[in-house]
A and B are shown apart, each in its own frame.
Chain A
Amino acid sequence: MPSLKDLKLRIESVKSTRKITKAMQMVAAAKLRRAEEAAQAARPYAERFNGVMAGLAAGMAGSDAAPLLMRGTGNDQTHLLVVMTAERGLCGGFNSSIVKLARSHAQELVGQGKTVKILTVGKKGREQLKRDFAEAQIGHVDLSEVKRVGYDNAQGIAADVLARFDAGEFDVATLFYSEFRSVISQVPTAQQVIPAKFEDSEDDGASTLYDYEPDEEAILTDLLPRGVATQVLSALLENAASEQGARMAAMDNATRNAGDMIDKLTIQYNRSRQAVITNELIEIISGAEAL
């Protein structure tokens, strides 16, 4: 049975923990709003871009003139996994769920006899993947100094990936990030970027025949590297929003848990105090009776 003083100290300490988690939750909520806005603002570009690329790609599909970035190197022996996680922890299962998806993916590929290379973005992913895939890690991008991710960051990562592709270091590149659905739901996602895939070809307007200036091939060669940067950017922005959402939910939980704990400890404290008083009374009364 802890003494009254111990209980009091514990209540105080849980109270200050609650203050911290509450503050973190509010900070995350503010950051989440900004991150969500940024993700939304970037959407029109990505949508238009993909629309045009899908149209172009459909026209070029199967042609030998298609750039390497689109038709691939012809085999799929070496895979590059770009694992994007947060720079900080305390955001629930956010980092772990992305890493888990990437890890199972990597294990599957290794099981098929493929070579896996990993490029990590964000400190947490690197740390978690170090144990199983230390020798597969070929690079790391540190974004801890970056306050707001922008196109420049995305372009830097894309340039790194493209340089490795040109050097023949891998055949297939996949991005791992968390898609932001809502504050309580973030879905870890794998997206293949090289060779380029354009899923939403539900483009009914594809019936319009465009004039291309310069020709289609030149446009594709120019646009595909930008497409990689665009995809990296939307992944980064989705990730940023997801991270704040996950942190907000985690901190909300922690705050509530701390509240429950304080209630429990307070009841325990009150009971022990009452027990002490009762004891003292009994002693006084029995002392008086003995006289």
Chain B
Amino acid sequence: MADVMKFDLVSPERALLSGQAKSVQIPGADGDMTAMPDHAPTITTLRPGVLTVELTDGTQEFAVTGGFAEITAEGTTVLAERAYPKASEHREAISGHLEEAKTAAASADGDGKDIAEKLVSDIEQLLENMV
């Protein structure tokens, strides 16, 4: 069994990270999951949360706001709509998304309201994690 796999983190504007990873912790829409080499092929959507990548040379953490992850036995690709290194200077950008999400939640109704409110609470949680 291989003990490393290929990992890519890409955002719409550019590729953020590419390298060999031992494991990747993904904030999936249905709950967190950790992808390791030889994982069963899976596609999952992301909720706002912290993405932790254990690379061969250290661990990196990113705050992501949405998108999806494609996991295969050989590697993992995370396509994040927005991704910031998990550091306090990026809190402001995420707070901006929180405001957006709150306005969206206020105007949504029915099923959309639940989804929008979940998004708000996910982002709040993420902000707390980033302190």
Contacts and interface: CB of A to CB of B under 8 A. Distances in A.
Report if A and B associate in a common complex. Answer: yes
Nearest to A52: B70
A222 B45 contact: yes
B43 A219 contact: yes
Residue from B8, B40, B41, B72 having most chain A Cβ neighbours under 10 A: B41
B47 to A, nearest CB: 10
A42 B81 CA distance: 12
A230 B77 CA distance: 17
A154 interface: yes
B41 A42 contact: no
B43 A218 contact: no
- Is chain A's interface secondary structure helix, strand, loop, or mixed overall? helix
Range class of the A interface residue count:
20 to 34
Contacts, number: 79
B42 A42 contact: no
A219 B12 contact: no
B98 interface: no
Nearest to B33: A213
Contact of B10 (A38, A48, A218, A233): A48
Report the contact-size class of chain B (Cβ under 8 Å from the partner). Answer: 20 to 34
Contacts of B12: 42, 45-46, 151, 154, 229-230, 233
A83 B76 CA distance: 36
Interface string B54-96: 0000000000001110101000010101100000000000000
Given A45-B12, A208-B72, A226 B40 contact: no
Contacts of B79: 45, 48-49, 52
B128 interface: no
B41 A45 contact: no
Contact of A209 (B33, B41, B67): B41
A56 B81 CA distance: 19
Interface string B6-24: 0010111111000000000
A214 interface: yes
Interface of A: 38, 41-42, 44-46, 48-49, 52, 56, 150-151, 154, 208-214, 218-219, 222-223, 226, 229-230, 233
Interface of B: 8, 10-15, 28-30, 33, 40-45, 66-68, 70, 72, 77, 79, 81-82
Nearest 8 A/B pairs, CB to CB: A41-B14, A213-B44, A211-B42, A151-B12, A45-B10, A210-B41, A210-B43, A208-B41
14 contacts: A41-B13, A41-B14, A42-B13, A44-B10, A45-B15, A52-B68, A150-B13, A211-B40, A211-B42, A214-B44, A218-B45, A223-B68, A226-B81, A233-B12
Given A208-B41, A222-B68, 9 more contacts: A41-B14, A45-B15, A45-B79, A52-B68, A52-B70, A210-B41, A213-B29, A219-B44, A233-B13
